[in-house]
Amino acid sequence: MVNLIAQSNVIVLVGMGMTGQSAARYLTNSGRRFVWVDTREAPPALDSVRSQFPDANIELGDLKEDTLLAASEIIVSPGVPLSNPMIQKAVNAGVPVLGDIELFLREVKAPVIAITGSNAKSTVTTLVGEMAKAAGKMVLIGGNIGVPVLDLLQQPAAELYVLELSSFQLESVNKLNAEVSTVLNVSEDHMDRYDSFAQYYMAKQRVYFGARKVVINREDPLTSPPLAEGVQQFSFGLNVPDRNGFGVIVKGGQEYLAFEFKALMPSADIKMPGRHNIANALAALALGHAVGLPMESMLQTLTQFPGLPHRCQWVAENGGVNFYNDSKGTNVGATLAALKGLQKDSGKIVLIAGGVGKGADFSSLKDAAAGLRSVVVIGQDGAQIAAQFEGLLPTRSATTMQEAVELAAQQAEAGDDVLLSPACASFDMYKGFEDRGDHFVRVVKEVVA
C-alpha cells in the first residue's frame, strides 16, 4: 500500500464513528487523499469501514506524532477530545485541526440555523425544521441529530439548513457564521470530558462565533453571547416578552404565546405536553422569525407537532396514574426541566432515575423534592441520586427496569405521574437512551395492562 504519510497535502481523519465515516465519504467523493486513524485497537465499525473503504490507509491504537505532524489538516470526530496530547502537539506545530462542521460550512451557500444547549436541542431543531417545511421551504436537518452534516451534502441543495450541534462538535469550530445561532440553556453535563463547567460553557458559546443574528433564553444568563456590534438579538422565555422577545402573557384569564406585546395563540393549543415545551415552542418561534418564516405556518405547526419519542413521551394511564418516558433526560438539567414541565396543582411524581452520571453533581435534584412522591433508582450511579433525597423522600433501589416500573407503580397514587427521566447516560445497561426508553415503554405496557 502506498505510504500517504510521506506525501504532502494528505488529510488525517481521526475517529471511525458515524461522523468519521461521513467525513470519509465526503473526502472520497471529493477525490481527497486521507489517512484514517483511531485510538482504539479494534473500533466497533472496523469491519464495516474496511468493507466500504477497501483502499483506506488505516492506523489503529495510540495516535502517532509523525502521522499528525505530516498532515495538511486533521479532521477530528466529536468523540475524540481536542485535549488529546498528540492532537495538541499538532495544534502547537501549526497543523490546522477542524471537525465535520467546518468542512460542511465551506460548501453550503444557504442560511444555517445553529442550535445548541444542554437540553431540548433535538426537539427545537426538529420543530424549526417542521415549521420551515410548513412554510414551503426546502430544508435539511442534521448534525448531532439524524444525518451527519457532511452526508447532507449528498442531497439536493437546501434553501435552509437547521443543525443541532453538541459541545463536542463546537470545540473544533473556528467561525460558524450561521444566519442565526442559539444556546437554549446551559446546565452541567459531560463533566467526564471537561475539566470544569466553565470549559463546557465556553464550548457552547462557540455557536455564536460569526453569527448574523442570535436567540437567547431570557431566563438563563449563561445563554447570552459576548455580542459584536451589529448582531441582531431575539429572546424567548416563560415570562412577559419585551422588544424582539417571545414569551407568555395572560389575557382574560387565559395564557397566550406572545411576540413583544401581541398575543399569538393560546399556550393550551400547543400539542407537545409539559410546560418546558412551551419554552421550546417559543425558542422555535424566535429562530424561525429570525430567518423570516411566516408566523401563521409556524403557529399551525405548534398545534400539530407532538414532540419527539423519549422526551416526556406519554406512554400509558392506569388507575389515574400516567406514565411518561423521558429517557433522553441524560443530565440533571434535563430531568429538572421534565419535572417542572409535569408539575400540576394535584398529584405528585414518582421519579425513576439513574445510570452513568458522567461525573455530574446531582445535588440540585433536591430542588424538585416538593413535587415528588418518591424516587426509584437504577444503574451504576443510582445510589448517588438516592443519597440526595435522604431524609426528604422515600427512595427504593431496583436492579432492572421491570423492577423499577413495578416499584414506581406500587408507590404512585391516583392523580400522580410516573416519570422515567434518568439524569444519566444509559450505557451501563443499554445501547443508548433510545434502547432504554423503548424498554421502559414495553415494560410499562406489560405492568399496567
Q: Any idea which residues carry the catalytic annotation?
A: 121, 144, 190
The sheet with strand 372-377 has its strands ordered as 313-318, 321-325, 417-420, 349-353, 372-377, 395-397
Q: Fill in the amino acid letter for 307.
A: G
Given a contact cutoff of 8 angstroms between Cβ atoms, the answer to whether 332 and 365 are in contact is yes
3-class SS string, the chain: CCCHHHCCCCEEEECCCHHHHHHHHHHHHCCCCEEEEECCCCCCCHHHHHHHCCCCEEEECCCCHHHHHCCCEEEECCCCCCCCHHHHHHHHCCCCEECHHHHHHHHCCCCEEEEECCCCHHHHHHHHHHHHHHCCCCEEEEECCCCCHHHHCCCCCCCEEEEECCHHHHCCCCCCCCCEEEECCCCCCCCCCCCCHHHHHHHHHHHHCCCCEEEEECCCHHHCCCCCCCCEEEEECCCCCCCCEEEEEEECCEEEEEECCEEEEEHHHCCCCCCHHHHHHHHHHHHHHHCCCCHHHHHHHHCCCCCCCCCCEEEEEECCEEEEECCCCCCHHHHHHHHHHHCCCCCCEEEEECCECCCCCCHHHHHHHHHEEEEEECCCCHHHHHHHCCCCCCEEECCCHHHHHHHHHHHCCCCCEEEECCCCECCCCCCCHHHHHHHHHHHHHHHHC
C-alpha cell at 443: 415494560
C-alpha cell at 9: 497535502
